[in-house]
C-alpha cells in the first residue's frame, strides 16, 4: 500500500500515527510539512480528499492562530494563512489509495487501512 503522512516529528499524535502505519506494515512517505511548506492547491486537494474544511483543518490551539485573529477568518483567508504559516495546519494528515484523513484521533487511520 502506498501511503503518505504529512508529519510533524515534534507532535505526539503525529508520531503515534506514523507508528500505527508502520505497525500495520505500511512504510509511508514522510513529508515534514513544516519544512516543505504547502501550496494552496495542495491544501485544497488534501482537505477535499479528507472531507474537511480549512476551518476544521486549522490548528486552533496554535498561538499564531490567535495572534492572526483567524477565528473569524473565511476559508480563503485561512488557506492564505496556512500557506504562509504551515504550522497552522492540523496534523497529521495521512493519504493512501483508499483516501485521505486527518488522523485525529489516530484511529481514523483504520478507515484507510481496512
Distance in angstroms (rounded) separating the CA atoms of residues 2 and 55 = 28
Note if the pTM is more than 0.75: yes
- CB of 79 within 8 A of CB of 57? no
What are the φ/ψ torsions at residue 19 (nearest 5 degrees)?
-65, -40
Told to judge if 11 belongs to the known catalytic residues of this protein, a careful annotator would answer yes
| Catalytic position from the list 4, 11, 55, 62 | 11
For residue range 33-75, what is the model confidence (pLDDT) as tens digits? 999 999 999 999 999 999 999 999 999 999 999 999 999 999 9
What pLDDT, on the 0 to 100 scale, is given for residue 99?
96
- CB of 54 within 8 A of CB of 66? no
Amino acid at each position: 500500500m502506498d501511503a503518505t503522512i504529512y508529519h510533524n516529528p515534534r507532535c505526539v499524535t503525529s508520531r503515534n500515527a506514523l507508528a500505527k502505519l508502520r505497525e500495520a506494515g505500511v512504510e509511508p512517505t514522510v513529508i515534514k510539512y513544516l519544512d516543505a511548506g504547502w501550496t494552496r492547491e495542495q491544501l485544497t486537494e488534501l482537505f477535499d480528499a479528507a472531507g474537511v474544511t480549512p476551518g476544521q483543518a486549522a490548528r486552533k490551539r496554535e498561538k499564531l492562530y490567535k495572534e492572526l485573529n483567524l477565528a473569524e477568518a473565511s476559508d480563503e483567508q485561512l488557506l492564505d494563512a496556512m500557506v504562509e504559516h504551515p504550522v497552522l495546519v492540523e496534523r497529521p494528515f495521512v493519504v493512501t489509495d483508499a483516501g485521505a484523513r486527518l488522523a485525529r484521533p489516530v484511529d481514523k487511520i483504520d478507515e484507510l487501512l481496512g
